[in-house]
Amino acid sequence: MITIKDIAKKANVSEGTVDRVIHNRGGVSKKTKAKVKEILAFYNFRVNPVASALAMKNKHFIAALIPEHNDSDLFWKSPYLGILKGANDVRRFGVQVNNFTFNQYDPDSYLKTFFSLLETKPTAVIMVPNFLKETKIIVSKLEALDIPYLFLNINIDGFNNKAFVGQDSYMAGYIAGKLMNLSVPKPSSFLIIQARHNIIKNNSISNRIKGFNEYLLKNRISSKTQTLQIDNLNDSLNTKEKINTYLKDHPEVEGIFVPSSRIYIVVNCIEASYLKNIKFIGFDNTPQNIECLKNDSVSFLISQKPFEQGYESVRLMTNCLTLKKDYLNNKIHLPIDILTKENVDYNERNEIVFESEVQKNNS
Considering the domain architecture, whether residues 62 and 120 belong to the same structural domain is answered as yes
Considering the domain architecture, whether residues 113 and 58 belong to the same structural domain is answered as yes
For β-strands 253-257 and 279-283, DSSP reports them as parallel
Considering the domain architecture, whether residues 282 and 192 belong to the same structural domain is answered as yes
The reported pLDDT for the residue numbered 363 is: 60
Beta bridge partners of 224: 189
Flag whether 108 is in a domain.
yes
C-alpha distances (whole Å) from 261 to each of 73, 117, 236, 237 are: 8, 27, 16, 19
Flag whether 357 is in a domain.
no
- pLDDT tens across the length of the chain (363 residues): 577 888 888 888 887 788 788 877 667 888 888 888 888 887 788 766 545 545 545 689 999 999 999 887 788 999 999 999 999 999 888 899 999 999 988 999 999 999 999 999 999 999 999 899 999 999 999 999 999 999 999 998 899 999 999 999 999 999 999 999 999 999 999 999 998 655 445 678 999 999 999 999 999 999 999 999 998 888 889 999 999 999 999 999 999 999 999 999 999 999 999 998 999 999 999 999 999 999 999 999 999 999 999 999 999 999 999 888 887 778 999 999 999 999 999 887 777 777 777 777 666
Flag whether 34 is in a domain.
no
Q: What are phi and psi of 13, to 5 degrees?
A: -135, 175
Considering the domain architecture, whether residues 321 and 265 belong to the same structural domain is answered as no
Flag whether 15 is in a domain.
no
The reported pLDDT for the residue numbered 2 is: 75
Domain boundary among 258, 284, 303: 303
Considering the domain architecture, whether residues 182 and 294 belong to the same structural domain is answered as yes
Flag whether 349 is in a domain.
no
Considering the domain architecture, whether residues 54 and 163 belong to the same structural domain is answered as yes
Q: Number of H helices and number of E strands within the chain?
A: 16, 12
Considering the domain architecture, whether residues 82 and 187 belong to the same structural domain is answered as no
Flag whether 6 is in a domain.
no
The reported pLDDT for the residue numbered 57 is: 57
CB 259 within 8 A of CB 154: no
Domain boundary among 303, 318, 350: 303
Domain boundary among 250, 285, 303: 303
Beta bridge partners of 164: 151, 331
Considering the domain architecture, whether residues 56 and 125 belong to the same structural domain is answered as yes
Considering the domain architecture, whether residues 147 and 181 belong to the same structural domain is answered as no
Could you give the number of structural domains in the chain?
2
Flag whether 313 is in a domain.
yes
> SS3 letters for 32-91?
HHHHHHHHHHHCCCCCCHHHHHHHHHCCEEEEEEEECCECCECCCHHHHHHHHHHHHHHH
The reported pLDDT for the residue numbered 53 is: 47
Considering the domain architecture, whether residues 291 and 316 belong to the same structural domain is answered as no
Considering the domain architecture, whether residues 141 and 211 belong to the same structural domain is answered as no
Query: For residue 293, what is the domain's CATH number?
Result: 3.40.50.2300
Burial of 258 (0-12, 13-18, 19+ CB in 10 A): buried
Domain that holds residue 93: 48-167+306-335
Flag whether 95 is in a domain.
yes
Considering the domain architecture, whether residues 83 and 123 belong to the same structural domain is answered as yes
